[in-house]
């Protein structure tokens, strides 16, 4: 009896050791490639900017102060800075709008694919992933062709006589939003499809059988069951769009900056690495808070299951 | 009985599924059947016979290529499922995983826009009906298969449908639970007075539960009758073969008339049989004898052969006899506690077929 117990305990110890051993490579990469650089960013945000970029190893909270405040050049008093805040605000609202629009467009798309016969779903999924084959930059410039003053939309509008002079689409928030929706749509469709595919469509039949109309079936059966996909898709779209860099740069021009562009500016022309680092961390905190809030709210409702 | 209007009636219903390219499947081929009110009606047949298709047409999940489906005289074939006063118990139960037991049961009433108080009272009554009061607030993933079955039943019964459709609801349960639920279903049908249309491929289940059975094969209904009808007076060979165990013998009809016939077997024996349709004298025919209607005798019988196998089943013993003509004939003998079956492997025996034991069938 005693020996059997010892053997079992030994086996359990071996099992735990093996588990650590197997996850060691992944843990190593996480520590070296993610936490390490993150630590450097945190340290840099508390240093003094060098004259030609880089940093001076001198402790300073200036970077953090200037995220929120503006220091008056003459009397050193601090006043609330609205410049960065407005960029943060634009980023968050554009990202939210992108998430909502991709959800509205992606939901019927994913539902369409999930309800096709097995052999035809692969073709549709394949079509959805085709944009990934093209470089993001090229796709964004292609969007420019669509939105330009003499681009497809304006030519069509003028041809149809709806307007006699081109409507300014480029370098507006609309252009940035359109570009981001286009780029991030597959990232919404795929997780939505993944959870729709798992739905037992007999549940939909059961809903119809129990006097639910099409709208009620959507509201009370399909959407609650697809909630994990909606959460995953929203996260996958919201986070990268918050940090989007190429799209606002190309389609938004110099006037419609987002956080990504602002950070890039500090490391480039601005030559203020500590400020760039502080802004990066601010962005990360916003993302994490938004994520925690979102996940907690969606998993607490009765949408959670399984 | 004669004046009663059928609860559900299918009139010349055809359903063709178009496949890819040329091949299309005729799942139902000009099927007509009338199901009476308050009846426990079973659609019985092997998989692919069209029984589930017919049920889905009645439920409204599918629409007939041709023909009418009448519910109390009104054609419901073009109506969507949520406008039909029928409810379904699904094979896999299809309980909503994101709702509690009570919410599942109340779903139909909620969709019908009934007041909250009424829904609560009805849900409680349903829970009581299927003996599930304690599990009211559980998630459906937290209850056993048998309990899920009960919830599915309660959910379908809660809106008080005119007809309840059951698509092989017991097939996922183990033997003992299935037996229990068969009795339970009969009780529920009796207590609610609702017309049940039950789909199964299990002939034993069909025989024990149904008021009437429709035996189906490849898109057609072959026979509609009481369990006794289809078991003891099958209309054709397929029905006799599908339901229960049967011995088939071939012979020549000597004289026939009035539903009776005399048949000469290849062994030379002459046997009296009932006939479902009239046969011409001199024609070849198939004769059916149920194993429990034949008797083994030590001396000469109508047939003779050698015992090949004796299988003990608890309630009875199956004795397989290799006939002199080459076929195997099975005889079922009731067991008694004190004595064995009285026969041994390899011994020669006779088989006697009583006057009422055989039936002539069309092929």
Collect the ranges in chain B with pLDDT lower than 70: 1-4, 20-22, 363
For residue B292, give the DSSP letter. G
Candidates A202, A211, A222, A230, partner chain B, best to mutate (most B CBs within 10 A): A211
Of A210, A224, A304, which is closest to B159 when you measure between CB atoms?
A210
Q: Are residues A34 and A100 in the same domain?
A: no
pLDDT average, residue stretch A150-176? 87
User: What is the model's pTM?
Assistant: 0.81
Q: Which residues of chain A does B108 touch, with a Cβ-Cβ cutoff of 8 Å?
A: 210-211
Residue B64 to residue B47: CA distance in whole angstroms: 19
d(CA B179, CA A7): 46
pLDDT of residue A293: 86
Q: Can you tell me which residue has the tokens 């994101």?
A: B98
SS3 call for B337: coil
Q: Are residues A174 and A264 in the same domain?
A: yes
- Mean pLDDT of chain A, nearest integer: 88
B24-35/A69-71 β-pairing: unpaired
Residues A15 and A139 in one domain: no
Give CATH 3.40.50.300 domain extents, chain B.
8-237
Query: Does A69 map to a domain?
Result: no
> Is residue A107 domain-shared with residue A249, that is, in the same domain?
yes
Query: For residue B5, what is the DSSP state?
Result: P
- How distant, in Å, are the alpha carbons of A26, A165, B349 from that of B167? 50, 65, 45
Identify whether residues A165 and A92 lie together within a single domain.
yes
Angle at the Cα of B92 from the Cα atoms of B89 and B93, rounded to 5 degrees = 40
| pLDDT at residue B33, as a whole number | 95
Q: Which residue has the higher pLDDT, B174 or A44?
A: A44
Tell me the three state secondary structure of residue B9: strand
Q: What is the tens place of the pLDDT at every residue in A169-198?
A: 888 889 999 999 999 999 999 999 999 999
Residues A207-255 have pLDDT tens digits of 999 999 999 999 999 999 999 999 999 999 999 998 888 899 899 887 7
User: A210, A222, A226: which to substitute to probe chain B, counting the most B Cβ within 10 Å?
Assistant: A210
CA distance B108 to chain A (A): 4
Q: pLDDT value at position A302?
A: 45
Query: In this predicted structure, what is the pLDDT of residue A41?
Result: 93
- Contact status, residue A141 vs residue A148, Cβ threshold 8 Å: no
3-state percent breakdown (helix, strand, coil) of chain B, nearest 5 = 25, 35, 35
User: Which CATH number among 3.30.413.10, 3.40.50.620, 3.40.50.300, 3.40.50.1220 corresponds to the domain B8-237?
Assistant: 3.40.50.300
Residue A56 lies in a domain: no
Query: How many other β-carbons are positioned within 10 Å of the β-carbon of residue A282?
Result: 18
* Chain B residues lying within 8 Å of A211, measured CB to CB: 82, 108, 111-112, 159
Q: Are residues A89 and A37 in the same domain?
A: no
Mode of pairing for the β-strands spanning B40-44 and B195-200: parallel
List Cβ neighbours of B308 (8 Å cut-off, separation of 6 or more): B320, B321, B322, B328, B345
Alpha carbon of B60: minimum distance to chain A alpha carbons (Å):
8
Assigned CATH topology for domain B245-361: OB fold (Dihydrolipoamide Acetyltransferase, E2P) (2.40.50)
Indicate the residue of B59, B95, B98 with minimum beta-carbon distance to A302.
Answer: B98
Residues of A in contact with B80 (CB under 8 A): 208
Q: Where in chain B is the domain with CATH 2.40.50.140?
A: 245-361
- Give the residue among B46, B61, B60, B53 at the shortest CA–CA distance from B14: B53
* Distance separating alpha carbons of residues A155 and A229, to the nearest angstrom: 38
Q: Is A75 helix (H, G, I), strand (E, B) or coil?
A: coil
- Domain membership flag for residue A65: no
Beta bridge pairs of residue B262: B255, B272
A199 touches chain B (CB under 8 A): no
Angle in degrees, 0-180, between the axes of helices A83-114 and A273-300, rounded to the nearest 10: 40
pLDDT band at A25 (very low <50, low <70, confident <90, very high): very high
* φ, ψ (nearest 5 deg) of residue B148: -60, -40
Q: Are residues A12 and A87 in the same domain?
A: no
CA distance A225 to B266: 66
Contact B47, B72 (CB under 8 A): no
Count CB-CB contacts under 10 A for residue B271.
Answer: 23
Q: Which residues contact B261 (CB under 8 A, 6 or more apart)?
A: B253, B254, B255, B272, B273, B274, B275, B279, B285, B360
pLDDT at position B314 is 85
How many Cβ pairs closer than 8 A exist between chain A and B?
68
pLDDT at B46: 93
What per-residue confidence (pLDDT) applies to B21? 62
Chain A residues whose CB is inside 8 A of the B90 CB are: 202, 205-206
As given in the structure block, the two tokens for residue A91 are: 């980023």
pLDDT at B4: 67
Chain A residue with the nearest C-alpha to that of B94: A203
Rounded CA-CA distance B235/B250 in Å is 17
Q: State the CATH number of the domain containing residue A227.
A: 1.10.3720.10
Distance CA(A175)–CA(A134), nearest Å, equals 20
Residue A127: domain span: 83-300
Total number of domains constituting chain A: 2
Element (H, E) at B180: helix B175-192
Question: Is residue A137 in a domain?
Answer: yes
Q: Answer whether residue A96 shows pLDDT above 70.
A: yes
CB B35 within 8 A of CB B197: yes
Query: What does the pLDDT average to over A143-167?
Result: 87
* Closest alpha carbon within chain A to B80: A208
């Amino acid at each position: 009896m005693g020996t059997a117990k010892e053997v079992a305990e030994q086996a359990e110890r071996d099992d735990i050791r093996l588990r650590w051993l197997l996850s060691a490579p992944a843990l190593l990469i996480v520590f070296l490639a993610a936490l390490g650089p993150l630590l450097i960013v945190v340290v840099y945000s508390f240093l003094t900017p060098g004259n030609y970029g880089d940093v001076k190893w001198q402790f300073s909270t200036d970077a953090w102060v200037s995220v929120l405040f503006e220091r008056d050049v003459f009397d050193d008093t601090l006043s609330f800075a609205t410049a960065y805040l407005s960029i943060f605000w634009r980023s968050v609202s554009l990202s939210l709008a992108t998430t909502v629009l991709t959800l509205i467009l992606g939901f019927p798309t994913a539902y369409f694919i999930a309800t096709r016969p097995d052999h035809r779903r692969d073709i549709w999924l394949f079509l959805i992933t085709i944009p990934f084959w093209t470089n993001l930059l090229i796709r964004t410039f292609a969007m420019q062709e669509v939105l330009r003053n003499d681009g497809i939309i304006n030519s069509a509008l003028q041809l149809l006589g709806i307007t006699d002079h081109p409507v300014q689409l480029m370098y507006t928030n609309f252009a940035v939003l359109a570009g981001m929706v286009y780029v991030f749509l597959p990232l919404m469709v795929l997780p939505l499809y993944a959870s729709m595919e798992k739905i037992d469509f007999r549940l939909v039949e059961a809903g119809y059988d129990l006097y639910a109309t099409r709208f009620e079936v959507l509201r009370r059966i399909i959407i609650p069951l697809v909630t994990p996909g909606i959460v995953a898709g929203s996260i996958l779209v919201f986070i990268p769009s918050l940090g989007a860099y190429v799209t606002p740069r190309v389609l938004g021009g110099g006037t419609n900056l987002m956080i990504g562009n602002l950070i890039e500016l500090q490391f480039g022309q601005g030559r203020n690495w500590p400020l760039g680092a502080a802004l990066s961390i601010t962005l990360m905190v916003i993302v994490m808070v938004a994520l925690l809030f979102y996940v907690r709210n969606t998993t607490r409702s009765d949408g959670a299951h399984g | 009985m004669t004046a009663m209007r059928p609860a559900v009636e299918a009139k010349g219903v055809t359903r063709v599924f178009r496949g890819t390219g040329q091949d299309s499947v005729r799942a139902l081929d000009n099927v007509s059947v009338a199901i009476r009110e308050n009846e426990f009606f079973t659609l019985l047949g092997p998989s692919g016979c069209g029984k589930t298709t017919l049920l889905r047409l009645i439920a409204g999940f599918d629409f007939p290529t041709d023909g009418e489906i009448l519910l109390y005289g009104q054609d419901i074939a073009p109506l969507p499922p949520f406008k039909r006063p029928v409810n379904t118990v699904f094979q896999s139960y299809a309980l909503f995983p994101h709702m509690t037991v009570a919410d599942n049961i109340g779903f139909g009433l909620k969709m019908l826009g009934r007041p909250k108080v009424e829904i609560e009272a009805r849900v409680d009554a349903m829970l009581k009906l299927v003996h599930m009061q304690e599990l009211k607030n559980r998630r459906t993933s937290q209850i056993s298969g048998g309990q899920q079955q009960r919830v599915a039943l309660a959910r379908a019964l809660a809106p008080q449908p005119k007809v309840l459709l059951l698509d092989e609801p017991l097939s996922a349960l183990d033997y003992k639970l299935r037996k229990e639920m068969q009795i339970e279903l009969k009780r529920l049908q009796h207590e609610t007075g609702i017309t049940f249309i039950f789909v199964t491929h299990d002939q034993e289940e069909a025989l024990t539960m149904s008021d009437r059975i429709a035996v189906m094969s490849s898109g057609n209904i072959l026979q509609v009758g009481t369990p006794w009808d289809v078991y003891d007076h099958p209309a054709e060979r397929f029905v006799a073969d599908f339901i229960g165990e049967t011995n088939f013998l071939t012979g020549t009809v000597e004289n026939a008339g009035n539903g009776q016939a005399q048949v000469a077997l290849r062994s030379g024996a002459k046997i009296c049989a009932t006939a479902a349709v009239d046969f011409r004298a001199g024609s070849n025919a198939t004769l059916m004898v149920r194993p429990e209607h034949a008797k083994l005798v030590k001396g000469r019988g109508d047939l003779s052969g050698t015992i090949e196998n004796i299988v003990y089943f608890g309630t009875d013993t199956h004795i397989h006899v290799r006939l002199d003509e080459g076929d195997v004939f099975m005889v079922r003998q009731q067991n008694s506690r004190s004595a064995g079956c009285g026969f041994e492997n390899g011994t020669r025996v006779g088989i006697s077929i009583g006057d009422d034991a055989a039936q002539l069938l069309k092929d």
